[in-house]
Structure formats: structure tokens, C-alpha cells
A and B are shown apart, each in its own frame.
Chain A
Amino acid sequence: MRIPTLRTLFGKRASAASPPKDRSSVRVGIPKVLNIWSTHQFWVGFLTALGIAPENIVFSSDTSEEQYREYGKGRGTVDCCYPVKCMSGHYGELIFGQKKKIDVLLSPMIYSLPSFLRGHVLDTLTCTRVMAGPENIKAGFLKERDVFAENGIRYVSPFVSLGEPEKVPKQLYLALKDVLDLTEEETARAVEAGYRALEAFNQKMRQKSREILTWCARHERPCILVLARPYHMDPGIGHEIEAELQAHGFPILWMQYFPTDDDLMHWLFGEEIRAGRIKSPFDISDVWPSSYSSNTNEILWGAKVAARCPWVTCVIRFSSYECGMDQPTYTPTQKIVEASGTLYFKFGDLDATKPAGSIKIRVETIVHYVEKYSRDIIRRKLAALPPHCPLLEEAPSTSESASLAA
């Protein structure tokens, strides 16, 4: 019962059109940080469509204390949340820690995101630290001397509004044209390829989640939903807390890849739409009117889903130390989830060091509660929904049977 996490699929090749220019030997390093975790397939699709060889697209490793100690120490310019602070280590690893040197260090300033909630919320902006992180971190590599240039690396940090695809070709063209010798047309084509790759990946992940949920529905088994920012999938940021729960036999779903199929959404939210409480299943104005921030919006939406979906009997919430975006959401998220009796546990203040001892104790508590109360929670939530659950009405898919057999 293992859903492939973003981490295990990170960097897998996306299909691409044939490249017009030979860029196959250019090596591009991308720090695997922040919202690269939810858009990496875009970057892989984009770069391969431009003719960069897949093996020359290098992501930095998962975050670790060693990485920071070895490559990032002394380069931090300010104290802030760990997901941003650790970026120095990622930059440093790409500059100093590669057997085969990279030519370009690509660290996009991602301003907005292509969220599935777009159109239903006020905006899908990234956290202000996510978008500005590269400007902060690069300062540590430039303040005394130009470390990039010294190492023969072109540093490039395009400002990119991934939530507004019509702007992206021009943004990437202007930022990268000199570095990769681009034309406007090929940039536009590569951007399309990037979006296609991202969409395909997201679909695949949602499909996997649906299979898990279907299995839970058929077997009346609980699952646990993770509410977190995409970079909490990084073992150095989220400390793999969910994996410890999974080891106890509970399937884990990440909110980012919760299935969004019409049938399921209307089963969960249809009554509320008919009652005029919300306009669509992705409308979160009933719980979060200031819906500007993409990752925050998705967390709030995930909380709503968790409160309704019967087999999600428990939510675990991750939050990094000093996260300013999460702070105002703590109470609303908990209230949304708990309104239906769903269990809610928060792991806050996550930092560089894994608090192994306290995680162990809390995991045991969670397991105890999930085992004890899930049956009741499922029954109560099921009773509050229309009778025909789409998950129970569909025939088991081949892939589901295969994965379950495995």
C-alpha cells in the first residue's frame, strides 16, 4: 500500500518535442527547494523540450543538516524559516558538490502557481519568502565575491508567474535567452511542453490517490491525509513523519494529490453547492475568504475534504518553525477538520533536526486514536453524505488490483 511520493518520482523524464538547437551538453542545476517540489515536472519538461539532455538536469539532493554544514554554512544572510534557510546548502551543493560541473544554476523566483484551485480562489500566489528566497540566498554567494562566476557557472533566476501561463513564455524567454541562446517560439513551445508534463504527472498522482481511496472505501479502512506545503515531502524538511505512520499500515495521502474527479467532488460537496453555501467543490470562501496564497488555499481546501471524506479519519498537519503563512491558518484548519469528528494532529515548528523521540511518542498516540475511532468516524461521515459513493460503484481498475496485490 505505498503511494509513490513526489520524492520517489522526482526528476523522472517528461516527454518532449525534438530540440531545434544542440544544447545536449549544457548542464543545468536546479536547487530542489520550496515550490520546485510541486513544479519540478514543469522544469524537466521545459528544459528537455529545449534539448537539454535529461541526465544533464541536475537537482540538488534532499535537504539535510550535513548538506547545510558542508555547503551552506556562513552563507545565510538572515535568520528565517528552515525551508528558505536550507537553500544555501542546496546552492552550495550544486556549485561545489558535483563531480561533473554544472554550467547553469537555475533558481526560479516562482511568483504564482498553477493550482487546481485557480479560478475558484482570489489568487494562487506563492509565499512571499518562496518567491523572494532566491534573491535572499544568492546574496550569500555574491556579497564578498561572485562565487558563481568563480566556478564558471551562470546564475539565472527567472521571475515566473506559473499561475498565469500566458505570461510565462515571455518571462522565461527574457530571462534565459542569453544563457541558453533561445528564440521566442521555441521558448513558447517548451513552456507548453512543461505544462503538459506537469499536468500529466499531477493526473497520475491523483489517479494513484484515487486507487488508494477506493481500496479504503471497499475495505472500510481509514487513511491519513497530510496537510502540508509541498516541500514537506522533502525528508529533511518534513522528516518523513508520514512514513512512520505508513509503517503502521495506514495508507497516506497528500492533499496536493487528492483526487479531484467530478464524481467524487460532487458526492462530497454537491449538497453544499445546491444549498448555495459554496459555488463549486473548489470554492473555499466559506472557510477562508483571504484566498490569495496558493499553498495556503490548498491546505484549507484539504481540510475541507478531510472533514467530509469518510475514509480520511485522521489529518496530520506539518508546519515549519517560524512559518508566517501557516500561522493564521492553525486554528481555522483544526476547526474545519474537527467539525466532523475527524482526528487532527499538528507537527509544528519543524526545523533542521528531526525530533525523533517526540515523533515516536506522537506516532504511537496517533496510531492508538486512529485504530480506536476510525470505524465510528467513517460511519458518521458516511451517514452525512448521499448514498451512492462513486468509489464503491466503480469496478476495480487493473492497476489498482495490481498494486494491491503487490
Chain B
Amino acid sequence: METIQRINHYTAYRPRPFTREERATVTILFGGLTWKHERLIQGVMHNLGYKAQPLPNITRADLDAGKELIDVGACCPTIFTTGNLANFLKSEMAALGREEVVKRYVFLTAGACGPCRFGQYHESYTMALDGLGLRDFRLFLLAQNQLDQGATHGGGLEINLPLSLGLVWAILCADVLTDLEYMTRPYEIVPGETDRVLRESIEYLYDVFRNRPQEKLRGGKLKVFAWHVLTDYFTDALRDVRKRWDAIRVDRLRVKPKVKITGEFWLQTHEGDGNYNIKRWLEQEGAEVIPPPIAVWLDYLLHSPITSEEWKGAERNRKKIALIRTLEHIYHFVYNRFRKALGNLPYELPDQEELKHLAKPYYHYELRGGEGHMLVGKALYAYRHKKAHMICELSPYSCMPNTMSIGAMANVLGRYPDLLYAPIEVKGDAEVHALSRCQMILTEAKRRAHAEFEDALAKTGLTLEAIRRYEERHPEVQRSTYRIPHYGYAGTAANYVMHLARKMR
């Protein structure tokens, strides 16, 4: 022992335990998603007796704070999220004092992702804590691929099925609602109505998650699981939400290019300064945005171990594959129930096998880090199925996996030169440059959307006046929840024309 005392070797950050007794007084901080996802997650946490609070929305000031606290060269999601935590802690310290902050809060973050920095975010967080003189502040990692990790870190947080399934269900509900939001807002007749109804819907769903029946969360794992999968509790709530959206009237004759957002997980999900608020900006520029659901990422996490098991090829591995496939079916079943409760308006999840297959000549599906092959797969999926006029890929400056898949996209574009693809590098502080790059490609997407629309009018022989007259007689087609099927056009307006033509026949 004497030897060890003489040189005080470096040790990594280790949080002191967060105990069960502390649950009532300690607030769990979390962040990294949209305000909608975070609010529903908060509902799940409150339902289980935790005090929980999302970090404030990301701002430019977080980038500056992050840069100050961690080593240079980090990717912008790392810098933003680190700065976000740091700024919150700083402001709380100013208000409550250091000791109180250390006592009152813990921070929970997703981790364990492997080859890119996502698996090492917490190293940056701990460096920030050091910089703030808060090494005794507690920060915990939640492995994102295990639903039942037991009581961890002193028992204060129990990662069990009621928590994990609650979190997943909350994310899926926020996803389908986000789809609804983005397909409605660009066409709303009364400005601001979508955002108002969205806020009300999220608050309503917060209560739904907050009030999950406790008796359904007790008992065996299978029972808890089966209840979540089969219950009408969530679908009934979504049906109620749908009724609220019925009241929003939309004008689908506004011809808009559809822009599918892809990119690095955090950056594409985010809504705010972290990605120059690009989704809102695109809407202001006249586009309809297809937001990236987190559900696709979870599906990818679920699906990807299959190939690894296939390589091993033993009986045990085959059984594991069968189990994964069953879980995948259940997962899609749940997601589709949620979609159905919202009138099948939210987009379906792409088939992971198809994404894999589409990406295969360009980017191997076992390459990990970031969104892996999915960036190439999703771009081709949208192109082949005419789901969007343009792909806007958000790539963090200095992101490792994204630079690789963007490079591979050069090969895709060589083969499909008419695929409109805008890779946007996001540094956090070079907004004008990034947006003007996007603008150039958006101009062509707009031209295509208009060409499609004219084509649909020509094909059907309809005029705008005839459509308006029909709308007057059939106001239900102007409801935001009225579903327009896909007639092979990417744009909403063109498909709307095709649909009305059929109705009028």
C-alpha cells in the first residue's frame, strides 16, 4: 500500500451513489431531444416517483460555454450539450449556491454507443464539471440498448421495464406527433394554430404518461410488457389528440417542396440553435419538412445485432435472431397502432432490411458510429419511393462517421445524378454559409415541386377553381387530419390534386 500512496495516480471521474432515499429530494436532469420528447419523458419519470427536469433549450451561448470547458476539436453536438449542462449548472449555482446544486441535482445521459464520440460524451461532461469546480456533481450513464439494467448507482435510479418501456413509448408518441406537426404547419390557414394545438396535445399526453396506472406497472416483466403492447391506454389518448387536430384547417394547394431531414442523431433530432433552427427556416423558405423520428434509430439499434449473430451462426445465435425479429415485429406493431390512432398520418417506419439493401453498394451496414449506413439508405429510400424532393443531411463539423457517409454519397450521386442532396455542415456559428448552401438546392426542389403540381393538374384536367369549389362543398378535405394517399408524387399538393380528381369522378 505504501507504494500507491507515494504517487497519486490519476483516476477517472466516479460519481458518488444516488440513493433510493434521495429520490424524493434529488432532481434528475436530462436533455438532448426535442421539447416534446422531453416533456413526455418527464411524464414517465414523474409517474415513477422521480423528480425530473429537462435542461433548458440549447442556445448559441451553450456553444461558447462548451468550447471554453472542453479540449478543442470536439464535434458540435458534444460542445453544445456540454455547454448546455454547464450553463444550467452555473446559473443554478448563482441562484442556490454550489453545495445546494451538488445536493439537489444529478444528470442522466445516454451512453455506451461504441466507436464514435457518442460513447464518450460523458468524458466531456466530466471535463466540464472539473472546469466548473463541480467534480462531486453526479452524472450517470444510461446504456441505450438495455431495457432492464436493474438498480444502478446506489439504487436512486432503477432502470427497469416500467421506466424503459415508458421512455420508449413516450418517444414513439412524441415522434408521431412531430410528424403530424410538420405535415400540418406549412399548410395551416390560421397562423400559429398548429403550434398551439401541439402544445396542448403534448401537455395532455404528459398527463397520460404521468398517470400510467400503477397496478399495470407491477408484477412480472412479461405482464408489464404485454400491457404496454396491448393496452388501449395510449392509443385512446392519441385518438383524443387527433380530435384536437381535426379542428385545424389547412390549404394543401400551397405547392411546397418536401425536404427530408437526415444526419447525425442529435443534430437531426434537435430543434433550435444547435442546428440553426433549420427545420423552421426551411418552412419559412416555403418547404414542408419530413422530420427524422427517433423511432428509426431505436429500430436500427434493435435490428443491427442480427448480422453479428448471423456471422457466428450457432444454434444459440439463431435463437437470438428469432427473438430479435419477434421484438422487431412487436415494435412495428406498437408504432403502427400509434400511427393508426392518428389516422395513419404519421409516416411509416422504413424497413431496416430495405435500408440495408439500398445502402449496400455504397456503405456497409455493419459499419458503426453515428447513423451508419442509414444515411445512405434513407436518402435512397426517399428517392426511390418518391417520399421527398430533397434530402438535407445535417452533419456536425468534425463528426467522424458522418464525414465517411457523406463521402460515400458521392458514389450514390454519381449513379443517381438527379437525387437532390444537400449535406449541411453545422459548426454552430456559421449559419449564413450553411443556410445559403441549403438554399441553392432548395431552389431546384421548389422547381420540381411546381413541375409535379402542374403535371398533376394536366393529368387530371382539374383547375384550381374547381378544386376550391370542391373544398367548399366538402370541408372535411381541408382538415389537417384528412389523409391524402400517395399517388407517386413527392409533393403534398400534387398528391392532393390526384386524390381530389378521384373523389370528383
Contact = CB atoms under 8 A, between A and B. Distances in A.
B368 A131 contact: yes
Nearest to B395: A78
A384 B71 contact: no
A286 B74 CA distance: 23
B401 A129 contact: yes
Contacts, number: 187
A383 B6 contact: yes
Given A128-B116, A143-B413, A385-B3, A77 B407 contact: yes
Interface stretch (A52-60, A328-336, A392-400): A328-336
Q: Which of A132, A307, A384 has the most CB of B within 10 A?
A: A132
A301 B12 CA distance: 13
Interface string B1-28: 1011011111110000000000000000
Nearest to B11: A286
Interface stretch (A97-105, A166-174, A192-200, A236-244): A166-174
Interface stretch (B120-128, B181-189, B427-435): B120-128
Nearest to A341: B7
A144 B414 contact: yes
Nearest to B307: A159
Contacts of B119: 290, 292-293
B312 A131 contact: no
Nearest to A337: B10
Interface string B103-143: 00000000110111101101110010000000000000000
B12 A327 contact: no
Contact of B123 (A76, A129, A332, A384): A332
A77 B368 contact: no
A43 interface: no
B117 A327 contact: yes
Interface stretch (B35-43, B248-256, B358-366, B470-478): B358-366
A161 interface: yes
Contact of B1 (A139, A275, A289): A275
B73 A111 contact: no
Nearest to A296: B120
16 contacts: A77-B406, A77-B408, A125-B115, A132-B364, A136-B404, A136-B407, A138-B411, A139-B407, A166-B312, A287-B10, A290-B122, A323-B73, A328-B78, A328-B127, A336-B9, A384-B3
Q: Which 3 A-B residue pairings sit nearest by Cβ, starting from the closest?
A: A128-B369, A136-B407, A143-B414
Interface of A: 76-80, 84, 109, 111, 123, 125-129, 131-133, 135-140, 142-144, 157, 159, 161, 166-167, 170-171, 271-272, 275, 277, 285-290, 292-293, 304, 307-308, 322-332, 335-336, 339-340, 380-381, 383-386
Given A128-B401, A139-B409, A329-B123, 10 more contacts: A128-B370, A128-B400, A131-B368, A136-B407, A142-B414, A167-B311, A275-B4, A292-B119, A336-B9, A339-B7
